[in-house]
Amino acid sequence: MPSIPAGSVLSARGPAKAKAFPALVVSGSKRMSIAPKVNVYVDGFNLYYRGLKNTPYKWLNLETLARRLLQPGDTIEMIRYFTARVKPLPGKPDAPRDQQVYLSALATLPNLSIHFGRFLSNTKMRPLASDPSQYVKIRNSEEKGSDVNLAVHLLNDAWRGAFDVALVISQDTDLVEPMRMVRDELHKPVGLVWADGGQPNKHLRNVASFVRHIETADFAASQFPDSIQRPGGTPIFRPPGW
């Protein structure tokens, strides 16, 4: 097998079963370098709660961030962003509007697609930790579907040969099995991106071909401009507090 260029994500050390794709081919007497095609899969809510909440870096350009996690020779084929439309919450009445502004900013990236799950908000009765015999009513908000959607697209893209390398930005352990299948059964490297500054979960780490960590400096350097001018359209402005 031809050697893999140093610095490419394909040269990252990973589990023995994580087969790397050739990065060079021979045509006649010439050797031509082929940049690996990378698909990036972003669990939006997971990234928000693990790395962005309570920071001034929510106005995040995912393409710029992904390029900081990869090497200059790697080609980003597609970015898939998985989220759900939020509802107004106590203390956050503008959350749906702010989210839509951000989705409009993401839509200016030509190689990015957005995939929606569902956002559920309701009330439930839960026992008190100090006295399980006593129940209180709480407001429960949760996102449904992003992990399943991400897993389905990761596997489908791998089967279709849509990428050479996958980069998964999520800390959801429900993704262990689909990541393992892509790495071990479809023989494509799968990188894990960790956003909260801690050590990766051992189960996710064990199925990842390589691990990348997002530093605060990566978030800071990957912001959209405060104003984005859409071709032939109105500008998009960064929401307050983002």
CATH number at residue 156: 3.40.50.1010
More confident residue, 100 or 12: 100
What is the residue range of 145's domain?
A: 36-237
The structure's pTM equals 0.81
Please tell me the distance from the alpha carbon of residue 169 to that of residue 191, in angstroms, as a whole number: 9
Q: Which residues contact 167 (CB under 8 A, 6 or more apart)?
A: 9, 38, 39, 40, 41, 66, 69, 70, 190, 191, 193, 212
Q: Given pLDDT bands bounded at 50, 70 and 90, which one contains residue 160?
A: very high
Say what the pLDDT of residue 122 is.
58
- Asked if residue 139 lies in contact with residue 123, where contact means CB atoms within 8 angstroms, the answer is yes
Q: Given pLDDT bands bounded at 50, 70 and 90, which one contains residue 121?
A: low
Task: Flag whether 26 is in a domain.
Answer: no
Say what the pLDDT of residue 35 is.
85
Task: Flag whether 30 is in a domain.
Answer: no
> How many domains, the chain?
1
- Asked if residue 42 lies in contact with residue 62, where contact means CB atoms within 8 angstroms, the answer is yes
Task: Flag whether 181 is in a domain.
Answer: yes
Please tell me the distance from the alpha carbon of residue 234 to that of residue 40, in angstroms, as a whole number: 28
Task: Flag whether 185 is in a domain.
Answer: yes
Please tell me the distance from the alpha carbon of residue 37 to that of residue 167, in angstroms, as a whole number: 11
Q: Is 85 helix (H, G, I), strand (E, B) or coil?
A: coil
Say what the pLDDT of residue 34 is.
76
If phi over 0 gives left and psi between -120 and 50 gives alpha, with beta otherwise, what is residue 2? Answer: beta
More confident residue, 31 or 236: 236
Say what the pLDDT of residue 119 is.
62
Task: Flag whether 22 is in a domain.
Answer: no
